[in-house]
Amino acid sequence: MRYLPILLLLSLFSCKNASEEKQESPAEKTPAYPTTGQVIRLSPKLDEIIDTSARIEVIAEGYEWAEGPLWLESRQMLIWSDVPKNTVYSWKEGEGASVYLQPSGYTSDVERAGETGSNGLLLSPDGKLVLCQHGDRRMALMDAPLDVPKPVFTTIAAQYEGKRFNSPNDAAYDADGYLYFTDPPYGLEKQMDDPAKEIPFQGVYRVSPEGEVALLTDELSRPNGIAFSPDYSRCYVANSDPDRALWMVYELDEHKNFINGRIFFDATSMAGSAPGLPDGMKASRKGIVFATGPGGVWAFTPEGEHLGTISTGQATANCALNADESYLYMTADMYVLRIALK
């Protein structure tokens, strides 16, 4: 009996140390923001990617149509486009959201309707901001540092065979600095019926570092999101057509052309069952494809197995990973969301 107090003290000391040593992962932390939606799990493999306790956090809201999220590691900041507002916004932990760049996608003084702002955002190989500009119908580079943004742009590509693009939508660089982008009609005032439409199809293009533009495919009715596998051997392209709602995957030959295109996953039967269509996407370093689609963000293995859906309850436009891939950020209609990853 005289040893009991000592044992109790040792037990309490051991428990205290264990508690202090345990580090909470982002998924285990109590959310600091309102939460929404749910994670729909179709395979236990998803538990290895998203913790069962992870919740979807609302970090910003009140936008007309949020798109093109991009994590800026050097600034510890997320930026995204509000396409109808012709504005890029930013968000930092503890500081909230603010205007980052305006105008972002349409620089003319002539007023026009439609989706005029920037859409997809990405960084060039040398760390400059590149924008898919709907209103100006071009791929452009911001001629200003990331920490002092200014609406001064240099055109990367604006035409194919002398004809203006429809409205570049999303883009990705390969390992050699070639830029790949999609060109649906969503930025044109009357879309497919717009008299200003100069190219009769909706293409996926490649731009060399020297500025040479090449057409990779014109077979998709609404090419949208685009992303590479971690080894750059495959390119995924979303088709946001409710009558052909799917994701394609292409291999690349030695000349960086698309070959052996095939359907990665067909979600046409799900179109209309929940808000959203195949749209923006990102691939993690492990090859997991996070692709926005009906209901939210779908998680796929590299082989095309649908593991589950981060169900936002909104039409979800695009997503982005931070540098260490501990968070997935999502733009969903008027909201900007995030969820912790393992």
- What pLDDT does 215 receive? 98
With respect to residue 5, please indicate whether it lies within any of the assigned structural domains.
Answer: no
Question: What is the tally of structural domains in the chain?
Answer: 1
With respect to residue 31, please indicate whether it lies within any of the assigned structural domains.
Answer: yes
With respect to residue 19, please indicate whether it lies within any of the assigned structural domains.
Answer: no
Tell me the residue range of the domain where 210 lies.
26-340
Whichever domain contains 73, its CATH number is: 2.120.10.30
With respect to residue 105, please indicate whether it lies within any of the assigned structural domains.
Answer: yes
- What pLDDT does 114 receive? 87
- What pLDDT does 237 receive? 99
With respect to residue 173, please indicate whether it lies within any of the assigned structural domains.
Answer: yes
pLDDT digits (tens, 9 = 90+) for 209-237: 999 999 999 999 999 999 999 999 999 99
- What pLDDT does 192 receive? 97
pLDDT digits (tens, 9 = 90+) for 26-78: 555 666 899 999 999 999 999 999 999 999 999 999 999 999 999 999 999 99
pLDDT tens series, the chain, 342 aa: 333 343 333 333 344 444 444 455 555 566 689 999 999 999 999 999 999 999 999 999 999 999 999 999 999 999 999 999 999 999 999 999 999 999 999 999 999 988 999 999 999 999 999 999 999 999 999 999 999 999 999 999 999 999 999 999 999 999 999 999 999 999 999 999 999 999 999 999 999 999 999 999 999 999 999 999 999 999 999 999 999 999 999 999 999 999 999 999 999 999 999 999 999 999 999 999 999 999 999 999 999 999 999 999 999 999 999 999 999 999 999 999 999 999
Q: What is the pTM of this model?
A: 0.91
With respect to residue 167, please indicate whether it lies within any of the assigned structural domains.
Answer: yes
With respect to residue 147, please indicate whether it lies within any of the assigned structural domains.
Answer: yes
82-89: long-range contacts (C-beta < 8 A, 24 or more apart)?
82/117, 83/115, 83/116, 83/117, 83/118, 83/119, 83/134, 83/187, 84/115, 84/116, 84/117, 85/117, 86/116, 86/117, 86/118, 86/135, 87/117, 88/117, 88/118, 88/121, 88/131, 88/149, 89/60, 89/63
Judge residue 284's burial from the number of C-beta atoms within 10 Å of its C-beta, 0-12 exposed, 13-18 middle, 19 or more buried.
middle
With respect to residue 46, please indicate whether it lies within any of the assigned structural domains.
Answer: yes
- What pLDDT does 32 receive? 85
Residue 42 identity:
L
- What pLDDT does 25 receive? 57
Residue among 234, 261, 231, 232 nearest 246 (CA) = 261
